[in-house]
């Protein structure tokens, strides 16, 4: 069964990468995706056998005025008595005068595959809120002196803060074993429209495929190549990465984001390590390769992950014990 699942997932991956790519889409961009799988896939909740808390901060395109800033925080844990996992994910996305805030609650069901593998089927539901800071809008003919705020336009641009929200639903499948991990997920399943007085935005359904392989090189050195593919079936983006770990502690690597000469976005340098047996700290610096490199000095991303080592509802489903090298 597991071999059929692996073949199916990699067939999907090959099919996706064979399509012509074009850059740009709604989901936020993170270079440390391989250290935070739950962010993209509700099926990952609880697969690390303990309560795990992760926080990420990213400053996109440093040097560009009003460039995007992202913060993500999530917590997830297994509930063995129910053969399942639970998780909460919160993200704040700032893009100039626009703010996107979303919070989702996820549940999944774990099914063992053999003695050292597990497949998880997850579902998430939450709220997506979009906010526009109308007070910050400026038009060429506008009047903004002496306490007057008048855009003086024919587009009925807002002069006050505007916000609207909508429910969102996500789903995902995640397979984890000693040698590899692979997940397929989708967000905004119903493709909702955020509707307000000055807001009307459709959230496109987006699909994600992630895959990681774990390979020993030397006695204390291992390599972990990974791939992330994102698409809304119109626009595509792919990222290929690799981390080298020493003594299952310090890691160093990089990634390349883009597909061809018209979609190349950035190359990232990644480094990090385990501060202790429960805390992992990682940093990524993106070198901008697109035309934005004229105004941007790159992007910065910082991740902190805490494994609290506390089990919840242990009972029905036994823990899957992998080679200690791959325990994160």
Alpha helices in the chain (DSSP H): 2-17
Strand pairing report for 98-113 and 117-132: antiparallel
Question: What's the rounded Cα separation, in Å, for the pair 314 and 317?
Answer: 7
Q: Which long-range contacts (CB under 8 A, 24 or more apart) does 271-276 make?
A: 272/35, 272/303, 273/249, 274/248, 274/249, 274/250
Per-residue pLDDT of the chain (328 residues; tens, 9 = 90+): 434 433 333 333 333 333 333 333 468 889 999 999 999 999 999 998 889 999 999 998 888 777 889 999 999 999 988 899 999 999 999 888 888 999 999 999 999 988 789 999 999 999 999 988 766 676 666 666 766 666 666 666 666 778 889 999 999 999 999 899 999 999 999 999 988 777 778 899 999 999 999 999 888 999 999 999 998 888 888 899 999 999 888 999 999 988 655 678 889 999 999 999 899 999 999 998 888 878 888 999 999 999 987 666 554 444 554 444 334 4
Q: How many angstroms separate the Cα of 14 from the Cα of each of 2, 108, 182, 227? A: 18, 26, 13, 11
Question: What's the rounded Cα separation, in Å, for the pair 113 and 177?
Answer: 9
> DSSP string spanning 263-274?
T--EEEEEEEEE
Q: What are the structural domains, with CATH classification, of the chain? A: 2-326 (2.40.160.40)
Classify residue 206 by burial, with Cβ atoms within 10 Å: 0-12, 13-18, 19+.
Answer: buried
pTM as predicted: 0.81
Q: Cβ distance 132 to 160 under 8 Å? A: no
> Quick one: three-class SS letters along 15-84?
HHHCCCCCCCCCCCCCCCHHHCHHHCCHHHCCCCCCCEEEEEEEECCCCCCCCCEEEEEEEEEEEHHHCE
Q: Cβ distance 26 to 232 under 8 Å? A: yes
């Amino acid at each position: 069964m597991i071999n059929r699942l692996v073949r199916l997932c990699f067939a999907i991956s090959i099919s996706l990468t064979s399509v012509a790519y074009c850059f740009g889409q709604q989901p936020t961009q993170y270079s440390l995706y391989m250290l935070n799988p739950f962010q993209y896939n509700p099926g990952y909740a609880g697969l690390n056998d303990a309560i795990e808390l992760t926080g990420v901060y990213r400053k996109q395109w440093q040097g560009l005025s009003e460039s995007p800033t992202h913060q993500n925080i999530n917590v997830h844990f297994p509930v063995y008595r129910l053969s399942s996992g639970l998780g909460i994910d919160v993200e704040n996305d700032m893009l100039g005068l626009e703010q996107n805030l979303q919070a989702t609650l996820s549940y999944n069901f774990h099914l063992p595959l053999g003695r050292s593998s597990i497949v998880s089927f997850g579902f998430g539901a939450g709220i997506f809120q979009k906010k526009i800071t109308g007070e910050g809008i400026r038009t060429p003919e506008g009047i903004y002196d002496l306490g007057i705020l008048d855009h003086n336009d024919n587009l009925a641009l807002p002069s006050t803060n505007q916000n609207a929200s909508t429910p969102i639903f996500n789903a995902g499948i995640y397979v984890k074993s000693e040698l590899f991990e692979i997940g397929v997920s989708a967000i905004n399943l119903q493709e909702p429209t955020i509707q307000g007085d000055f807001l009307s935005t459709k959230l496109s359904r987006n699909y994600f495929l992630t895959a990681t392989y774990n390979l020993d090189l030397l006695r204390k050195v291992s390599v972990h190549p990974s791939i992330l593919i994102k698409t809304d079936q119109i626009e595509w983006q792919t990222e290929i990465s690799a981390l080298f770990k020493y003594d299952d502690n310090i890691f160093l690597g990089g990634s390349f984001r883009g597909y061809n000469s018209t979609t190349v976005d950035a190359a990232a340098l990644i480094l990090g390590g385990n501060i202790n047996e429960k805390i992992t700290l990682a940093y990524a610096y993106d070198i901008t390769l697109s035309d934005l490199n004229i105004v941007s000095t790159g992007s910065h991303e910082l991740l902190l992950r805490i494994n609290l080592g506390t089990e919840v509802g242990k009972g029905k489903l036994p823990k899957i014990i992998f080679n200690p090298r791959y325990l994160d």
